[in-house]
Amino acid sequence: MLIDELRETCDDPKSALVMALGDKGRQALIKNIEGSMKFILDDVVTIAAASIGTSKPSKMVEALPLCRLPFKTTWIECRNAARDWHNNDPERPPPPKIGMLFNGIDRLQRGTMHLVWKHSKNAYPSSVAMNMSVFSYAFDLDGSAVIDKLESAFYDQATKVVHDELRRVASESHSAEVGGKDEVAALHELLKRMTVLPNPYLIGLWEGLMNKYPNGPPPSWTKELQDGAVKDWAGEVIFFLCSVLFINSKRSIKLEHIDMGKLARRRAKRGRSPVYSHTVVKLSITDDQQKAFKRASTGDLRAHFVMGHWKIRKTGVFFWMPHIRGNRTLGFVDKDYEVVK
User: Does residue 303 belong to any structural domain of this protein?
Assistant: no
| CB-based contact 178:57 (threshold 8 Å) | yes
Nearest to 99 by CA among 207, 219, 243, 273: 243
Q: What does the pLDDT read at residue 6?
A: 96
| CB-based contact 32:73 (threshold 8 Å) | yes
Distance from the first to the final alpha carbon of the chain: 39
Domain total for the chain? 1
User: Does residue 327 belong to any structural domain of this protein?
Assistant: no
User: Does residue 321 belong to any structural domain of this protein?
Assistant: no
Q: What does the pLDDT read at residue 186?
A: 79
How far apart are alpha carbons 76 and 99 in whole angstroms? Answer: 6
Buried b (16+ CB within 10 A) or exposed e, 202-241: bbbbbeebbeebeebbeeeebeebbeebbebbbbbbbbbb
Q: What does the pLDDT read at residue 318?
A: 57
Mean pLDDT by 10 residues, the chain (341 residues): 95 94 96 96 85 73 85 94 63 84 90 92 81 91 57 58 69 59 78 85 90 80 80 85 84 83 89 89 63 46 48 59 49 42 34
User: Does residue 230 belong to any structural domain of this protein?
Assistant: yes
User: Does residue 278 belong to any structural domain of this protein?
Assistant: no
Q: What does the pLDDT read at residue 2?
A: 95
User: Does residue 335 belong to any structural domain of this protein?
Assistant: no
Helix (H) or strand (E) holding 139: strand 135-140
Range of the domain at 113: 2-258
In the chain, where does DSSP find H-type helix?
A: 2-9, 16-35, 43-52, 57-63, 153-178, 181-192, 203-212, 219-233, 236-248, 261-269, 287-296
Q: What does the pLDDT read at residue 23?
A: 95
User: Does residue 207 belong to any structural domain of this protein?
Assistant: yes
User: Does residue 333 belong to any structural domain of this protein?
Assistant: no
CA atoms within 13 A on the CB side of 13: 0
pTM > 0.85? no
Q: What does the pLDDT read at residue 340?
A: 34
How far apart are alpha carbons 133 and 333 in whole angstroms? Answer: 44
